[in-house]
A and B are shown apart, each in its own frame.
Chain A
Amino acid sequence: MSDSKLVIGRRGLLKGGVAVGAVGLAAPTFFNSPARADNHSGYLNAPQGGSVTLGFNVPQSGPYADEGADELRAYKLAVKHLNGEGDGGMMNTFSSKALKGNGILGKKVEYVTGDTQTKSDAARASAKSMIEKDGAIMITGGSSSGVAVAVQALCQETGIMFMAGLTHSNDTTGKDRKANGFRHFFNSYMSGAALAPVLAANYGTDRKAYHLTADYNWGYTTEEAVTQATEAVGWETVNAVKTPLTQTDFSSYIAPVLQSDADVLVLNHYGGNMVNSLTNAVQFGLRDKLVNNKNFEIVVPLYSRLMAKGAGANVKGIFGSTNWHWSLQDEGSKAFVKSFGTEYGFPPSQAAHTTYVQTMLYADACERAGTFNPCGVVEALEGFFFSGLGNGPTIYRKEDHQCFKDVLVVKGKENPESEFDLLEVVEVTPMSKVWYSPDHPQMGGEAATLGECNTGA
């Protein structure tokens, strides 16, 4: 199974998207479906009265609590903008103009929050509670792929929409994809595809990589993606060692790297694991070493500004990838940074960006579909092409509900000017370079299917 090539360019995609959008607006197919007969009945938690409730399921305790807090700030800002308060943020730059600032379908947006604790069972319990007790029509959030996959499955079973937050594992829209679930965030495959050419250009094609991988779902898919992508540019993978998720001191895993023939260390770690493993690797002087007559290098496939802050000066000069960065200068990003920064006093993280965008995309899809019915919303989102939300032209692919857009390759900044100025964008990898076929082996192959959308009725 080989990757299918994206045969149309970005300009072509844009034109096609506009055309599809125009046709869609003129005669949405959903308008002819049975659910159209009653827009606010016939599905679970159909909103009655003048408001609609969204469920924000984020880590409010546990190691990802800071990231969860930033997600929650973004959700609250999105609700404010949807209800016509504040400066409107990215609603003003969003290519779709379906949102009017009067809530969603004229209903005021309210929200409830849950604490995932970054544990799948706790996340499912809080999502269940928001669906059953609070009548949430849509669940969104998460700062972990394990949580996202678990909550997505719950939403599919119950008939509620799930708009994933920060989840980077291939599986979320790969082997575990679901009809009721959508992901705006990029994934491991895209990180590998975007990083490998930049790494080859900067470090050469004759490199020996040693992987340290967090021993869970996201770690495996990231290791697989980065290994395949770097081997495709000529690198050799000399070893790949799994590290326990609970590991705090990585010295015993770093020390063998010194004894190996490797000249690059790839840290497939996120969160506290990333902070500690990178700090330990720098302590052991890996970056000062000369191996195979080359400078030893470290790579962190998935960067987050919040995590980079934890690692401090150790991130300087280290390559990685990210979904979005506040320093981007497109109109959407600038509008969002201004809105968020004015409200909270600091720039948003990529987690905040993706959750804000997901809320906007959901609300917009409801408006375009004319209903909150999940099957209508799914249909409105599938193949939806948009821009103005900070990542350039973007498409929600119908086959797996994964957003395809440009991917940012970043590097730890050598001379940061502020505590937020930690990463610099070194390359914007175009969407066509990170495109893959929906039945790609890394995504579960041909066996992976979305199934049928569920209304919960």
Chain B
Amino acid sequence: MEAILLQILNGLDKGSAYALIALGLTLIFGTLGVVNFAHGALFMIGAFCAVMLSRIMNYSRVIIDESRTDFLGNPLKVEVPYLHDWFGPEIGQTMIEWSVPLAIIFSIPVMWVVGYVMERGLIRHFYKRPHADQILVTFGLAIVLQEIVKHFFGANPIPTPAPPAFAGSFDVGALIGFDPNVIIYPYWRLIYFAFAALIIGAVFAFLQFTTFGLVVRAGMNDRETVGLLGIDIDKRFTTMFAIAACVAGLAGVMYAPINAPNYHMGMDFLVLSFVVVVVGGMGSLGGAVLAGFLLGVLESIASMSQVIEYLPGINQIVIYLVAIIILLTRPRGLMGRKGVMEE
């Protein structure tokens, strides 16, 4: 029982990453009608915003320590971050250690610009082209973006830890009546889950309760009519693309301490996220979130050794198996709308 509860918790956490990426994908598809294969790259760029800010905050001056030598026997060059000079070693170090939470603020304008430039500079030229063209161009863009990141940051993962205050695990089991130390879960992953829920809630609230959101939702349903009413829907859709880029970027920033960012992390999530979107139903925001959490939980449970013992290999195929079953029984996905991608 404890094992299942732990895997459900884990699945919800995994699912929150899938849901955030799939939410952005669906926003873009629902508004612009573009199948954006570069969305995983936006997630990766978000994670590298955390890496970048960490490097900026670690920017150092070099002093020579004559008492120690480097690997060649020369006097050791020691780097002293400027933040240590400006704010003192303790405060300066604390600021550096909090670079990931600070990167949330740093990443929003960066991702906004990246999203805006991507949409205006490239993707808008493909609105009226077939989906196959859109897939090819966005997939190509994703490869270009990841190679750029690799050029500057290398191919190896770059450790980007969470602040020490969030190291360690929380005893979730004790909170719900189990014995101590039976169901424990890392603090940062719990924070990720809460953060994802907050972002998802904010996006839904924005679309539901603002005039901007009302227009966008109207545009998603009937773009032509909204245009005929004299509303520049394209401008709003560009903004939605930038918002989707920010959502993916924030998902990436917060993911950086969970797994050290590397240049191909976006591709690792991309295929899964598309499966999530298809299972949830193309164009359905609620479906994307629901499917994200559902598939996260199923993947986690299928990874249990007790399950693998009876169904060897199920951990590797469960998501695709569920996708096939759902598409056979509900061809439009869990919450798909009629007419979307059916022309």
A binding-site residues for B, Cβ under 8 Å: 62-66, 215, 239, 241-244, 246, 248-249, 251-253, 255-256, 258-260, 272, 275-276, 279-280, 283-285, 288-289, 306-307, 309-314, 326-327, 337-338, 341-342, 346-347, 417-418, 420
Q: How far is the CB of A225 from chain B (nearest CB, A)?
A: 21
What 1/0 mask marks residues of chain B from 149 to 182 whose CB sits below 8 Å from any chain A CB? 0100011111101000000110000000000010
| A259, B188: Cβ atoms closer than 8 Å | no
Contact partner of A63 among B3, B14, B262, CB < 8 A? Answer: B262
| B11, A63: Cβ atoms closer than 8 Å | no
Chain A residue with the shortest CB-CB distance to B255: A249
| B158, A310: Cβ atoms closer than 8 Å | yes
Given contacts A252-B14, A313-B159, 11 further A-B contacts (CB under 8 A): A249-B17, A252-B7, A258-B6, A259-B2, A275-B157, A275-B259, A279-B259, A283-B169, A283-B188, A310-B159, A338-B72
| A275, B155: Cβ atoms closer than 8 Å | no
| A337, B72: Cβ atoms closer than 8 Å | yes
> Which residues of chain B are near A243, meaning CB under 8 Å?
315
Contact partner of B184 among A65, A241, A251, A285, CB < 8 A? Answer: A285
> Which residues of chain A are near B6, meaning CB under 8 Å?
255, 258-259
Q: Would you call B209 an interface residue if the criterion is a C-beta within 8 Å of the partner chain's C-beta atoms? A: no
Residue contacts A-B, CB under 8 angstroms, 23 given:
A244-B315, A246-B268, A249-B14, A249-B17, A249-B258, A251-B189, A252-B14, A252-B300, A252-B303, A255-B10, A255-B300, A256-B3, A256-B7, A256-B304, A260-B305, A275-B156, A276-B259, A284-B169, A284-B186, A310-B156, A310-B159, A314-B159, A338-B72
Pairs A-B, 7 closest by C-beta atoms: A312-B159, A65-B155, A252-B303, A310-B157, A252-B300, A285-B169, A283-B186
Separation of A31 and B219 alpha carbons in the complex (Å): 83
Residue from B155, B161, B181, B189 having most chain A Cβ neighbours under 10 A = B155
Q: Interface residues of A: mostly helix, strand, loop or mixed?
A: helix
Given A239-B305, A246-B268, A285-B169, A251:B150 Cβ within 8 A:
no
Separation of A418 and B264 alpha carbons in the complex (Å): 27
Chain A residue with the shortest CB-CB distance to B68: A417
Given A275-B157, A312-B260, A417-B76, A255:B7 Cβ within 8 A:
yes
Separation of A326 and B315 alpha carbons in the complex (Å): 40
Separation of A63 and B267 alpha carbons in the complex (Å): 12
Number of interface residues of B (CB under 8 A): 46
Q: How far is the CB of B296 from chain A (nearest CB, A)?
A: 9
Chain B residue with the shortest CB-CB distance to A246: B268
Residue from A259, A280, A306 having most chain B Cβ neighbours under 10 A = A259
| B259, A249: Cβ atoms closer than 8 Å | yes
Q: How far is the CB of A161 from chain B (nearest CB, A)?
A: 28
Separation of A279 and B188 alpha carbons in the complex (Å): 12
> Which residues of chain A are near B269, meaning CB under 8 Å?
248
Separation of A63 and B11 alpha carbons in the complex (Å): 26
Q: How far is the CB of A217 from chain B (nearest CB, A)?
A: 16
Q: Would you call B113 an interface residue if the criterion is a C-beta within 8 Å of the partner chain's C-beta atoms? A: no
| B10, A66: Cβ atoms closer than 8 Å | no
Q: Would you call B86 an interface residue if the criterion is a C-beta within 8 Å of the partner chain's C-beta atoms? A: no
Separation of A289 and B180 alpha carbons in the complex (Å): 12
Q: How far is the CB of A87 from chain B (nearest CB, A)?
A: 12
Q: CB within 8 Å of A: which of B213-263?
A: 258-260, 262
Q: Would you call B71 an interface residue if the criterion is a C-beta within 8 Å of the partner chain's C-beta atoms? A: yes
Separation of A259 and B184 alpha carbons in the complex (Å): 10
Q: How far is the CB of A352 from chain B (nearest CB, A)?
A: 13
Q: Would you call B308 an interface residue if the criterion is a C-beta within 8 Å of the partner chain's C-beta atoms? A: yes
Separation of A337 and B218 alpha carbons in the complex (Å): 66
Separation of A285 and B316 alpha carbons in the complex (Å): 26
Q: How far is the CB of A243 from chain B (nearest CB, A)?
A: 8
> Which residues of chain B are near A65, meaning CB under 8 Å?
150, 154-155
Separation of A215 and B308 alpha carbons in the complex (Å): 13
| A285, B168: Cβ atoms closer than 8 Å | yes
Q: How far is the CB of A316 from chain B (nearest CB, A)?
A: 12
> Which residues of chain A are near B259, meaning CB under 8 Å?
248-249, 275-276, 279-280
| B184, A275: Cβ atoms closer than 8 Å | no
| B308, A241: Cβ atoms closer than 8 Å | yes
> Which residues of chain A are near B258, meaning CB under 8 Å?
249, 279-280, 283
| A63, B264: Cβ atoms closer than 8 Å | yes
> Which residues of chain A are near B169, meaning CB under 8 Å?
283-285, 288
| A66, B303: Cβ atoms closer than 8 Å | no
What 1/0 mask marks residues of chain B from 6 to 29 whose CB sits below 8 Å from any chain A CB? 110011011001000000000000
Residue from A249, A285, A289, A309 having most chain B Cβ neighbours under 10 A = A249
Separation of A280 and B255 alpha carbons in the complex (Å): 12
| B14, A313: Cβ atoms closer than 8 Å | no
Residue from B7, B11, B269, B315 having most chain A Cβ neighbours under 10 A = B315
Q: How far is the CB of B269 from chain A (nearest CB, A)?
A: 8
Q: CB within 8 Å of A: which of B169-209?
A: 169, 181, 184-186, 188-189
| B159, A311: Cβ atoms closer than 8 Å | yes
Contact partner of B156 among A66, A259, A280, A342, CB < 8 A? Answer: A66
Contact partner of A248 among B76, B168, B181, B265, CB < 8 A? Answer: B265
Separation of A341 and B14 alpha carbons in the complex (Å): 42
Contact partner of A251 among B14, B155, B260, B315, CB < 8 A? Answer: B14
Q: Would you call B66 an interface residue if the criterion is a C-beta within 8 Å of the partner chain's C-beta atoms? A: no
Q: How far is the CB of A67 from chain B (nearest CB, A)?
A: 8
| A66, B154: Cβ atoms closer than 8 Å | yes
Q: How far is the CB of B90 from chain A (nearest CB, A)?
A: 19
Q: How far is the CB of B100 from chain A (nearest CB, A)?
A: 13
